[in-house]
Amino acid sequence: MTKIAVVAFGGNALLRGNEEGTIEQQEKHTLNTCRKIISLIRKGYELIITHGNGPQVGNILLRNEAGYNQFKIPKMPLDICVADSQGGIGYMIDRQMRNALNQTELKKNVVAIITEVLVDINDPAFNNPTKPIGPYYLKEEADLLAKTNNWIFKEDPRKRGWRKVVASPKPVDVMNYQVVKDLVEKGHIVIAAGGGGIPVYFNEEKKYLEAIEAVIDKDLASALLARLINADRFYIITDVPKVYINFHKHDQKALDNLTVEEAEFYYNKGEFPAGSMGPKILAAIDFVKNTGKEAIITNEEDLENENPGTLITL
C-alpha cells in the first residue's frame, strides 16, 4: 500500500535570511534539502513537496515597481506574481530533486504543478488585511499610494518603513488535488501549493472563477492538501530541530512529543508567535485533528534521523 508524506519546505530550505538571494545560493540550499528528504523515500514514502515564496515573490513585486517606474512596463497583479514564483521555485526544486536522485540508485519522475487554492470571499480576513507584501515606503509615499490605488499600508514593527498589507484568508479547497493524488500514488514526486497557492474565489453570480489580492499561509494550505489527498504523514521543515517552549530564554525547552491538546494549550499561552512557529503549529493541529495521523516539525538536517523533530499526535 502506498504511503504518502507531504513535506512543507520552509523559507530556510531555499534561502537564508542573511544572504543576497542569488540563484546560485538558492539552488545550493534546495539541492541540500532535496538530498535530505530522499531519506523519506527510503523509509517507503511517496512525496508531495510544498514550499514558501516570501522572498521570491517580494523580489517579483520589486521588479514590478522598477519596470513600471523606469520603462512603463504594466504591473502584474499579485495572483500573477504568485504564479510566477510557483513556476520559478517549482522548476528549481524539480531540477535539484532530479540532481539529488541522480546521485542515488532511486528512479523517480518529478513534476511541478501550478496550484490555485479556493478561498471564501466572505472570509473575515478580507476586512482586516495583515500580511505585508512588497517594498518599504516612506509614510508620505505610502499615503499617496493608498489614496491613488485604494491600498492599505501598515508600519513595519521594526520601523523600517510602511508596507502594503493584504488579507490572509483561510484556504477552503485545493484545486486539482485529485490530480496531485493520482500522480503521487503512481510513484511520482509532486511539487504543489507553492506559496500557499494562488488565491481564487468562485463568483456565484457570474459562475466564474476569479483571482483576488491575498496571500494564503503556506503551512495551512499544505495541511489542507495533506488532508485532501489522505497523506500518512505531514512534515513541516523549518530552521530549528524541534518545537520549543520559552524559546530564546534561559529556560527554553525542546519538545520531543506534543499532543494536539498540549499544542493548543501552549499556542493559547503565546508560546508560538504568529510570525514564527505559530502557523506551523496551527497547520500541524489542523492535519492531526482532521485525520488522526501524525505531523512532524523539524529541520532538514534531522530528517535522516530515526525520530526527527517534534512529533504531534492526537
Q: How far apart are CA 283 and CA 15, in angstroms?
A: 22
- Give me the residue label for grid cell 532530479: 98
Q: How many CB atoms lie within 10 A of CB 173?
A: 16
Q: Which residues contact 117 (CB under 8 A, 6 or more apart)?
A: 171, 172, 173, 174, 175, 193, 196, 197, 198, 199, 200, 216, 221, 224
Catalytic machinery residues: 11-12, 131, 218, 280
Q: What are phi and psi of 7, to 5 degrees?
A: -120, 115
